[in-house]
Amino acid sequence: MMRTPILAGNWKMHKTSAEVRAFFKEFSQRTQSNWVRADIMFAVPYTLLAVAQEAADGMATIIAQNVHFEASGAYTGEISIDQLRDLGILGSLVGHSERRQYYGETDDTVAKKVTRLTDAGMLALACVGESRAERESNQTEAVVTRQIQSIFNAAKSIDRLVIAYEPVWAIGTGLTATDEQAQAVHKLIRGLAREHFGEGSAAKLRILYGGSAKPDNIAGLMQQPDIDGGLIGGASLKPIDFAAMIDNVTQ
Ligand code: 13P
């Protein structure tokens, strides 16, 4: 079963409107015909969703970095699914480790967001991953299993669900997981998907790796049988790097 790879940039709290326009101008000049072999996405700050959507001009799908699970209400500073849709935005990251670490995101709030997004026919790109302490105390499997079970239980449909495995110790540190370390966790996740949704759905589920993925290590990761793409932070900020990664994945 061939799964279409996904290369997704996560711009975190970077860029202004002018920088977004400049990015896509240069990005468009690097576009290759091979790129149709991958789904290209960018998760951008709320204030840049509209300008990115316009500047990307169909070259990439623009998604949010977070969304609230309630439809509306007294939640100052939050954004709803309908408000994303209003801009033509049809997906969001959910449960990125920075949201879990700094903003109190829990398995429970992640689950609610996955339910609402998948119920609304929106893409939920849900992130999981263990901390350095958890890896060093051999809890990687237990932690990822707990996070994934919660997401799978919450998903109304697996068709609009994508998983990103991002070991926290590899994010922004330059310490990429080895191909083997990443593959072992991706295999675990696909096994859990098989138990939960059955063989056919598990074979279709796309599982991305994230954590210091770069032009020079993406190809090795992509050769692993259960790695279907990347969620890229730092190396997605410059068109030259991100284009090189897409070239690697689509060759
Ligand atoms: P880096 O690629 O900068 O390590 O970030 C990974 C990440 O958190 C993507 O969501």
**What is the reported pLDDT for 65?**
98
If pLDDT is split at 50, 70 and 90, which confidence band does 169 have? very high
The residue contributing the CA closest to ligand 1 atom 7 is 233
Q: What is the pTM of this model?
A: 0.97
pLDDT at 251 > cutoff 90: no
pLDDT band at 151 (very low <50, low <70, confident <90, very high): very high
Ligand 1 center–CA 161 separation, angstroms: 19
Confidence of residue 59 (pLDDT cuts 50, 70, 90): very high
Per-residue confidence band for 242, with pLDDT thresholds at 50, 70 and 90: very high
Centre of ligand 1 from the C-alpha of residue 73, in Å: 32
CA 163 to CA 125: how far, in whole Å? 6
Check residues 80 and 2 and name the one with the higher pLDDT: 80
**Whose CA is closest to atom 5 on ligand 1?**
233
Q: Which of 68, 130, 166, 186 is catalytic?
A: 166
Residues 6+ apart with CB under 8 A from 58: none
Distances (CA, A) of 235 to 34, 87, 103, 142, 239: 20, 26, 24, 30, 9
**Which residues line the pocket of ligand 1, CB cutoff 6 A?**
10, 96, 166, 171-172, 210-213, 231-235
Per-residue confidence at 71, pLDDT binned at 50, 70, 90? very high
The neighbour count for residue 152, using CB atoms within 10 Å, is 21
Asked about 68 being catalytic, the answer comes back as no
Residue 54 has pLDDT above 60, yes or no: yes
Q: How far is the CA of 223 from the centre of ligand 1 (A)?
A: 20
Q: How far is CA 75 from CA 69, 72, 116, 135, in A?
A: 11, 8, 16, 35
Flag whether pLDDT at 1 surpasses 70.
no
The catalytic position among 68, 96, 105, 130 is: 96
Q: What share of the chain has pLDDT > 90, as a percent?
A: 97
> Is 98 noted as a catalytic residue in this protein?
no
> What does the pLDDT read at residue 159?
94
- Which atom, in ligand 1's list, is nearest to the CA of 98? 8
Rounded distance between C-alpha atoms, residue 151 and residue 63, angstroms? 19
**pLDDT for 215-241, tens place per residue?**
999 999 999 999 999 999 999 999 999
What's the mean pLDDT when you consider all of the chain? 97
State which ligand 1 atom lies nearest to the alpha carbon of 232. 2
Mean pLDDT on 165-194 = 96
**pLDDT tens digits along 83-112:** 999 999 999 999 999 999 999 999 999 999
CA of 105 to the centre of ligand 1 (A): 18
Query: How far, in Å, from the CA of 112 to the mean position of ligand 1?
Result: 24
Classify burial at 206, counting beta carbons within 10 Å of its beta carbon; exposed 0-12, middle 13-18, buried 19 or more.
middle
pLDDT 10s digits, 194-215: 999 999 999 999 999 999 999 9
Strands (E), the chain: 6-10, 39-43, 61-63, 91-94, 123-128, 161-165, 207-210, 229-232
Instruction: Give the residue, by CA position, lying nearest to ligand 1 atom 1.
Output: 233
Distance between CA 75 and CA 62 in Å, rounded? 24
